Amino acid sequence: MSSPEVVVYRDAGLLAAATAARLVTRLVDVQAARGSASLVLTGGRTGIAVLEQVRVSPARDAVDWSRVDLFWGDERFLPAGAPERNETQARAALLDHVPVDPARVFPMAASDGVHGDDPDAAAAAYASVLAGCASGAAVPTFDVCLLGVGEEGHTLSVFPDSPAVHETERAVVGVRDCPKPPPTRVSLTLGAARHSDEIWLMTTGASKASAVAQALAGADEVALPAAGARGRSRTLWLLDSAAA
Ligand SMILES: O=C(O)[C@H](O)[C@@H](O)[C@H](O)[C@H](O)COP(=O)(O)O
């Protein structure tokens, strides 16, 4: 696992624009080397702001969007099309504006889909999707995994000292009574996220500064889940000056 690197930007707007540029370049480089690329999307203001900046980037179409495999790190377990769903927001911010291949976009199930309102069934189904994309492994090696970080150190929908942070077997879990609304979610585990080549933790605002400091000081992942988000070759903490 890689050691955390830190890049600090003047403000949240510059972080979003610079991270969008970083993402476009990373996807182009991976596609040049391997033909396709895989990306894990996140919810939250910061993650969506980055996607919006990708949409308006002059370099956007340097990426062959038809050869990007798109996954989610977590999802708010709501009916399809609900405004609060990470998928809804990602489609509005970017995916509906670029020629992705629908067969290579893998949203987590909605609460009114085939799995009903059972987040555990939805999680098991997503684990099967991941295994189906992983040619023999349980989880693909994601090229880039975008993550946000909460004030108390959550990432994905993995919260401090929660059942999800103690999960060592499953790659995807249902989350209930989530401290951050909405309460029911589906989430990758930290173990699944660590299959990523690069993990980018995008964090803005003074309210996150304590969690950032604890994570970078080597806090235990049970108490500070974001501290356990490590990429195989790179772990990037992308901060604005307030979070730093
Ligand atoms: O579904 C979610 O809410 C996200 O996955 C969550 O992990 C988010 O990334 C963090 O809470 C940071 O959110 P902000 O960027 O809005 O602070």
Write down the ipTM of this complex. Answer: 0.97
Pocket of ligand 1 (CB under 6 A): 42-47, 74, 76, 86, 148-150, 154-157, 180
Residue nearest to atom 11 of ligand 1 (CA): 150
- pLDDT tens-digit readout, 56-71: 999 999 999 999 999 9
- pLDDT tens-digit readout, 92-140: 999 999 999 999 999 999 999 999 999 999 999 999 999 999 989 999 9
Residue nearest to atom 4 of ligand 1 (CA): 43
* Section 67-78 average pLDDT: 98
pLDDT computed for residue 163 by the predictor = 97
Residue nearest to atom 3 of ligand 1 (CA): 44
Residue 82: strand, helix, or coil = coil
C-alpha span between 131 and 227 (Å, rounded) = 25
What single string gives the DSSP state of each residue in 130-165? HHHTTTTSSS---SEEEEE--TTS-BTTB-TT-HHH
The two tokens of residue 45 are 């203001």
Smallest Cα–Cα separation from 128: which of 144, 106, 146?
A: 106
- pLDDT tens-digit readout, 223-235: 999 999 999 999 9
CA of 43 to the centre of ligand 1 (A): 5
C-alpha span between 126 and 189 (Å, rounded) = 12
CB atoms within 10 A of CB 110: 22
The CATH-assigned architecture of domain 4-240 is 3-Layer(aba) Sandwich (3.40)
pTM for the predicted model, two decimal places: 0.98
pLDDT computed for residue 146 by the predictor = 99
Give the number of the atom of ligand 1 that is nearest the alpha carbon of residue 73.
5
CA of 154 to the centre of ligand 1 (A): 8
pLDDT computed for residue 166 by the predictor = 98
pLDDT computed for residue 1 by the predictor = 86
Confidence category of residue 187, pLDDT binned at 50, 70, 90: very high
CA of 78 to the centre of ligand 1 (A): 16
pLDDT surpasses 90 at 206: yes
- pLDDT tens-digit readout, 84-95: 999 999 999 999
C-alpha span between 170 and 154 (Å, rounded) = 18
Smallest Cα–Cα separation from 110: which of 99, 101, 121?
A: 121
Q: Where are the domains of the chain?
A: 4-240
